[in-house]
Amino acid sequence: MHLGLIGLGIMGAPMARNLLKAGFPLTVATRTPGKAARFASEASSLGSVEAVETPSELASACDVVITMVTDSPDVVQVARGPSGIFAGARPKTVIIDMSTISPQITRDLAEEAASHGLQWLDAPVSGGQKGAIEGTLTIMVGGDAGALDRCRPVLAAMGKRISHFGPPGSGQSAKLCNQIMTAINLLSVCEAMVFGKKAGLDLGTLHEALTGGAANSWALEVLGKKMIERDFAPAFMVRLQQKDLRLVLDAASANRTPLPGAAMVHQLLAALEAEGHGDDGTQALVRLFERLAGL
């Protein structure tokens, strides 16, 4: 299959490299002028890769089109319009949106894709930049089971656990469940690290102890270590976590699901954004708790 990938950011670029390593011919496009061409030049040693300027041009050459962009409006932009995917894609093309966006907008786009004779899979991912680089992402899929079966080799080049949840939008809903838990796990790690520091404990020793017991989590292992090392560089930015939590809270409001923990983390991260730290990694939330504790 000839693949196309739109979006070459922190996640998209390593995902594209893994597709090339798996032997798929790849066409890439970005909304940032020149970025796709630079990637194609740098990644040419990995396999067959070319850059084009528009989503429609990319879609016209591909059997499967993957999108990995930031938010719902970005996916809508690359899908619709005279230079969008729908304008260029051939019938039976499968579009795999691996961005994290609104479940309702996903359902709308899937319906529109079907009207063009196309198939739409929502397949958001978990595992962060590290998982994207190592090809070990968890992929949560909504959409037609036959289209998923056809595209499993593509997804397997980027991830190790591929779960099908049902009709369009269900993959996005599963990803929002993931974001609820990662947000609240982040909160718990911040509180534990600040409590331990205020109690005079060595945080390295505390981290070693806690990761060996029932309190362990990915957030503790990875983000807790970054907090201790004062490494606030983004693997996942505060502002992107905020975008995901807005999606969570919008969907929860629509189906009347109370989520007090997710709402609280959203407000705490808003305080961090107000201080100008929206581009920091989410582990920077610990700094807010340190200030609240007088550290």
- CATH number, domain of 8, equals 3.40.50.720
Residues 140 and 188 in one domain: no
pLDDT in tens, the chain (295 residues): 999 999 999 999 999 999 999 999 999 999 999 999 999 999 999 999 999 999 999 999 999 999 999 999 999 999 998 899 999 999 999 999 999 999 999 999 999 999 999 999 999 999 988 899 999 999 999 999 999 999 999 999 999 999 999 999 999 999 999 999 999 999 999 999 999 999 999 999 999 999 999 999 999 999 999 999 999 999 899 999 999 999 999 999 999 999 999 999 999 999 999 999 999 999 999 999 999 999 9
Per DSSP, 45 falls in state: T
**């708790």: which residue's tokens?**
289
Res 81: pLDDT: 85
What sign results for the dihedral spanned by CA atoms 103, 106, 111, 112? positive
Residues 116 and 17 in one domain: yes
Q: Please check whether residue 33 is in contact with residue 168, taking contact to mean a CB–CB distance below 8 angstroms.
A: no
How do beta strands 137-142 and 159-166 pair? Answer: parallel
Q: Of 132, 167, 202, which residue sits at a domain end? A: 167
User: Which residue in the list 175, 198, 225, 226 is annotated as catalytic?
Assistant: 175
Q: Of 122, 144, 167, which residue sits at a domain end? A: 167
CATH number for the domain that contains residue 184: 1.10.1040.10
Res 161: pLDDT: 97
Residues 177 and 160 in one domain: no
Beta strands in the chain (DSSP E): 3-6, 26-29, 49-51, 64-67, 94-97, 119-122, 125-126, 137-142, 159-166
Q: How far is CA 232 from CA 57, 239, 279, 281, 287, in A?
A: 39, 14, 10, 5, 10
Residues 196 and 159 in one domain: no
Residues 151 and 186 in one domain: no
Residue 179's domain spans which residues?
173-292
Which pLDDT tens digit goes with each residue over 73-120? 999 999 998 899 999 999 999 999 999 999 999 999 999 999 999 999
Residues 255 and 185 in one domain: yes
Please give the tally of structural domains in the chain. Answer: 2
Half-sphere exposure of 166 (CA within 13 A, CB side): 7
Res 235: pLDDT: 84
Q: How far is CA 250 from CA 99, 109, 257, in A?
A: 17, 18, 10
Residues 123 and 191 in one domain: no
Cβ neighbourhood burial of 87 (10 Å; 0-12, 13-18, 19+): middle
Q: Of 122, 148, 167, which residue sits at a domain end? A: 167
Residues 177 and 163 in one domain: no
Residues 185 and 203 in one domain: yes
How do beta strands 125-126 and 137-142 pair? Answer: antiparallel
Residues 91 and 148 in one domain: yes
| pTM of the model as a whole | 0.93
Residues 111 and 205 in one domain: no
Residue 130 falls in the annotated catalytic set: no
Report residue 259 CA to chain centroid gap: 21
Residues 111 and 209 in one domain: no
